[in-house]
Structures are given as structure tokens and as C-alpha cells.
């Protein structure tokens, strides 16, 4: 069992204020595989104080951006050296299939760090603009102390979408990992120390959700960066609105994949399986609503059902596994509840259903619903598991209407032999990211975020850096 007894605060490993612990349970074996201290409000107060001291009086925000970029480059190299270890650890603690852990969990964070390091070497912190009385200097300055509150499904990726731009901007950060996945954050802390990031610039405290609200509400926090459920996002937005605190929210999704009549289904299914079922369906960008024309509806249902049924379900450490367990028993039960809801609403489970694949482990069989409509709960609410719903449309205009008939707007895709026509469809769907014959891969240099209830603000790319900067205009006479 992996055991830690300290928290990472102020550049050191410090004893927690309380005696509580967080048990990390393998979703594959249901056995305890790790234990870490449970951070208390007092621990978070200490972390905020360290971050505040580092921002108000430390060297980090007073370095040039190019100097911070060099530090990020060092961090990227050291992080990459621990990538395989991180992948194994994330698979252990949350059940991510090891193949996805390598390319989706820990591969992108290295790229994000390196991309922001490259950006920072040439980024203009100041510029001159003409004014009535002479030149105006426009400066970009760090927003301050950031609370980064992250989920369990892609813990390192989400941390890095916040940490890399915040560090480049000159901010200091308190990271609160989810209680389901605290182990990987200890490796991150070790890498930060090895990269000689100054004390207090990054602080990491694993804690429960109540302590997380204490962090978000803390008067020493200047900005909250949150990824998680829309319900939690609304609560955080309320707190930040009351305090007039900067906030960015990356929330839920119910993304639609539009299958056009000219789509070559056999060739599309390989890429589509990633779009629909990545991370065992525990992904906010998963394409879980599948829109098929009535003329090809049965054909699409069969193709999707065969794709889902062909996924190897089992030990997430096996490279051949496509579907691992749900992160926790409560998540397994939540997904099963939605399968019951779908059946009660009159949809037909053409594969999968309520029979559990194994007696041990929090597994759910990949499930595909047919005979579904877009007003069903299984088509409107985020399930966060391997459950797909195939919905018929009358024509392309109807497909776009159904895709947009959602509270969410995070991702989506269109599948067609005519890529240019696919681009026309993409421009009509109100989502923050979109793909033609693929799921948008969330490149380091392009913005990621949602429309509507899928969030506020953007991460990644120059737009992600802008979220950690304040703009100052300086006029002068003489």
C-alpha cells in the first residue's frame, strides 16, 4: 500500500493539522491501495498563507515571463521522466485503462507545460497603444493566488490546464486534488521541488469537498479555477460572485455525434469508439448522444452496438482493456440508476444493461440505448459512464436542432465523407469544441471550454493564459 503522512505546503512536506486520512480504494479490486492525510481548513489556511507570501513577497511574480518559461521547460522535462509512473498510479487509483492513462492522462500534461514554456519565451507583457495624450502602456500582470480545484477523472491533465498557465503568468497556486485520486499529486509535488520552483508557489492539499468550499471562500484567494459537475460549478460561481472573485469553470457535457448519411460506418467506428467511450465513459467530452438519420437508424444502432460489445471490459492494468471500472461504488450505482431510468422511459438496451460484468470491482457493462428521444433523461443528463443513446433525426437541420437542444455545450462531432460539409455542420452547433470525423483532441495551443451550462472561460492556448492575467493601462504626460 502507498502511504503518505505529510502535505506539500510552502515547498516542504509538513505534518497535517488533523489526524483524518483518505483511503484510496482500487475500483478494480475494491481493496485499499493508498492512504494520505485528509487536509483540514487549517491546512488549507496554511497553504493559502504560503501562496500569499510567495505572491506578495517572493521572487516568482517578479521574474520576467521568459525566466518563468525556462522554469516551466525544466518542469516539463522532469515531469516527462515520471510519466510512466504517473500512468500506472492513475490506473491504480481511479481505474483508467492503462492505454488511456499513457496517451490521455499523462501524455498531454507534458505537452501543455512545454507549450506554455515556448509561449512565454516570446510573449509580450507590455505593449504601446496610441492615446489622446501620447502612448498608453498596456501591461499584463498576474491575477494573484489561484485555487485550482480538480476532479478525479483526468487528474493530472486538469491540474496542468490550470497550473501551467497560472505559473507562466506569475501566479501562485493551491491545488486541491479530488479525494479519489490524491496519490498522483505527490509525484507532481516531488517534480516541482526537483525543478526548484520557489517555496509556496505551488501547494498541494488533498481534502474533501467541504474543505474545498473553505478554500474557494478564502479571502486570500484571488481566482478559482474549477473543473467538475455543473451543480458544483453553480455553487462555486455563487460564492465567487458574492466575493467578486475571478472564476473559471469547466463543467459537464452531453455531447452529440451527428452521423450523416454518407458516413462510412465500418471505417468510422474505430475513431468513434474513442470519442464515445474514452476513459470508460468517464469524460466530460464523451460523445454520448448519437444522432442517426431515420433512413440509416437501424444500421447505425447495429454498428454502435457491435462497437460497444466489442470492447474488452476488465483489469485496467491490461493494455488490451478498453473499458475499466467506474471510479467508485457510488459512480457504479449512479450509472446503473440511469440505465434503469432509460429502461423505464421506454428506451431499449440493445447491448449491456444491468447485469454486472464481474462480481468484484465497480464495473458497468457498455450499454447502448435505441428507441430513444432527446427529451429522455438519458439524453439530457450527464451520466459519466459507458452509456450511449442513439436518437433518430429527420434531416440535417433536425440533427443540428437536436444537437443544440441541450443545457450543455462542451463538445460534439460530425461523421461524414465530405469534410467540407462537416465543417458547415460544425459551425452550426453551439459547443466550445467540435470534431469532424473525430473528437476534438484538446490541443495545447487551442482554447477548451464550454457554452451554456458547460462552463465559463477557456483553458489551454493563449486564451488559457489570459485567464490568469489582469490588464493595466498606464497613461503619462511628459
Confidence band, pLDDT 50/70/90 cuts, at residue 36: very high
What is the per-residue pLDDT for 453?
Answer: 98
CA 202 to chain centre: 19
- Reported as a single tens digit per residue, the pLDDT across 426-443 is 999 999 999 999 999 999
What was the pLDDT predicted at 55? 99
Q: How confident is residue 150, by pLDDT bands cut at 50, 70 and 90?
A: very high
SS3 (DSSP) at 258: strand
Separation between Cα atoms, residue 320 and residue 117, nearest integer Å:
35
478 has a pLDDT exceeding 80: no
Task: Report the largest interatomic distance among the alpha carbons of the chain, rounded to a whole angstrom.
Answer: 79
Residues in a beta bridge with 249: 226, 456
Binned at pLDDT 50, 70 and 90, residue 210 comes out as confident
Which cell is 266 given? 465500418
DSSP codes of every residue in 371-439: S--TTSHHHHS---SSEEEEEEESSHHHHHHHHH-SSEES-EEEE-S-HHHHHHHHTTS--S--EESS-
The DSSP 8-state label assigned to residue 296 in this structure reads G
Retrieve residue 425's grid coordinates.
455542420
pLDDT value at 232 more than 90: yes
Q: Which residues of 138-150 are buried (b: 16+ CB within 10 A; e: fewer)?
A: eebebbbbbbbbb
Q: Is there a contact between 172 and 145 (Cβ–Cβ < 8 Å)?
A: yes
DSSP class of residue 198 equals P
- Asked if residue 189 has pLDDT above 90, the reply is yes
Catalytic residue among 38, 93, 180, 250: 250
Residue ranges and CATH numbers for the domains of the chain are 2-251+454-474 (3.40.605.10), 255-444 (3.40.309.10)
78 three-class SS = helix
Which residues have a Cβ under 8 Å from the Cβ of 304 and sit 6 or more positions away?
269, 272, 276, 290, 368, 388, 390
Average pLDDT over residues 243-267: 98
pLDDT band at 209, cuts 50/70/90? confident
φ, ψ (nearest 5 deg) of residue 451: -90, 165
Residue 449 is predicted with a pLDDT of: 98
What pLDDT, on a 0 to 100 scale, did the predictor assign at position 152?
A: 98
Q: Which three cell numbers, joined as nine digits, stand for 83?
A: 510519466
Please indicate whether residue 250 is annotated as part of the active site.
yes
Nearest to 291 by CA among 364, 389, 221, 219: 389
Given pLDDT bands bounded at 50, 70 and 90, which one contains residue 28? very high
Percent of the chain with pLDDT over 90: 99
Over residues 283-305, the mean pLDDT reads: 98
The confidence score (pLDDT) of residue 218 equals 98
The model's pTM is: 0.96
67-87 pLDDT, tens digit per residue, is 999 999 999 999 999 999 999
Q: For residues 383 and 370, give the distance between their C-alpha atoms in angstroms, rounded to a whole number.
A: 16
Q: What does the mean pLDDT of the chain come to?
A: 98
Amino acid at each position: 500500500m502507498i502511504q503518505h503522512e505529510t502535505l506539500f505546503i510552502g515547498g516542504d512536506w509538513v505534518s497535517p493539522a488533523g489526524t483524518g486520512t483518505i483511503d484510496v480504494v482500487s475500483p478494480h479490486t475494491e481493496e485499499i491501495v493508498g492512504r494520505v492525510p485528509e487536509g483540514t481548513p487549517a491546512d488549507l489556511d496554511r497553504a493559502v498563507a504560503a501562496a500569499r507570501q510567495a505572491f506578495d513577497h517572493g521572487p516568482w511574480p517578479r521574474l520576467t515571463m521568459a525566466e518563468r518559461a525556462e522554469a516551466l521547460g525544466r518542469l516539463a522535462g522532469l515531469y516527462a521522466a515520471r510519466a510512466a509512473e504517473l500512468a500506472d498510479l492513475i490506473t491504480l487509483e481511479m481505474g483508467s485503462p492503462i492505454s488511456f492513462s499513457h496517451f490521455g492522462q499523462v501524455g498531454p500534461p507534458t505537452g501543455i507545460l512545454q507549450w506554455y514554456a515556448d509561449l512565454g519565451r516570446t510573449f509580450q507583457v507590455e505593449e504601446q497603444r496610441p492615446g489622446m495624450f501620447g502612448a498608453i502602456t498596456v501591461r499584463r500582470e498576474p491575477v494573484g493566488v489561484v485555487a485550482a480545484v480538480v476532479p478525479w477523472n483526468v487528474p493530472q491533465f486538469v491540474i496542468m490546464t490550470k497550473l501551467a498557465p497560472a505559473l507562466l503568468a506569475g501566479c501562485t497556486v493551491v491545488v486541491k486534488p479530488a479525494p479519489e485520486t490524491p496519490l498522483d499529486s505527490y509525484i507532481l509535488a516531488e517534480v516541482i521541488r526537483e525543478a526548484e520552483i520557489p517555496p509556496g508557489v505551488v501547494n498541494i492539499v488533498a481534502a474533501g469537498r467541504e474543505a474545498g468550499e473553505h478554500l474557494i471562500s478564502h479571502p486570500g484567494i484571488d481566482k478559482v479555477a474549477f473543473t467538475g459537475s455543473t451543480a458544483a460549478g453553480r455553487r462555486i460561481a455563487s460564492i465567487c460572485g458574492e466575493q467578486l472573485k475571478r472564476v473559471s469553470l469547466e463543467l459537464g457535457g452531453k455531447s452529440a455525434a451527428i452521423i450523416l448519411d454518407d458516413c462510412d460506418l465500418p471505417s468510422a467506428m474505430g475513431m468513434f469508439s474513442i470519442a464515445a467511450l474514452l476513459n470508460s465513459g468517464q469524460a466530460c467530452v464523451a460523445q454520448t448522444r448519437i444522432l442517426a438519420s431515420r433512413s440509416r437508424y437501424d444500421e447505425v444502432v447495429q454498428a454502435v452496438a457491435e462497437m460497444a460489445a466489442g470492447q474488452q471490459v476488465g483489469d485496467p492494468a491490461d493494455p488490451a482493456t478498453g473499458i475499466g471500472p467506474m471510479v467508485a461504488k457510488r459512480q457504479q450505482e449512479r450509472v446503473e440508476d440511469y440505465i434503469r431510468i432509460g429502461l423505464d422511459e421506454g428506451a431499449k438496451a440493445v447491448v449491456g444493461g444491468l447485469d454486472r460484468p464481474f462480481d468484484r470491482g465497480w464495473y458497468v457493462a457498455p450499454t447502448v440505448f435505441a428507441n430513444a428521444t432527446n427529451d429522455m433523461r438519458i439524453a439530457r443528463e450527464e451520466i459519466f459512464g459507458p452509456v450511449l443513446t442513439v436518437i433518430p433525426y429527420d434531416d440535417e437541420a433536425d440533427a443540428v436542432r437536436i444537437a443544440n437542444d441541450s443545457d450543455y455545450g462542451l463538445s460534439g462531432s460530425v461523421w461524414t465523407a465530405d469534410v467540407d460539409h462537416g465543417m458547415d455542420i460544425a459551425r452550426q452547433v453551439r459547443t466550445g469544441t467540435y470534431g469532424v470525423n473525430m473528437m476534438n483532441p484538446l490541443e495545447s495551443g487551442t482554447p477548451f471550454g464550454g457554452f451554456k451550462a458547460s462552463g465559463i472561460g477557456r483553458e489551454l492556448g493563449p486564451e488559457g493564459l489570459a485567464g490568469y492575467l489582469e490588464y493595466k493601462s498606464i497613461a503619462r504626460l511628459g
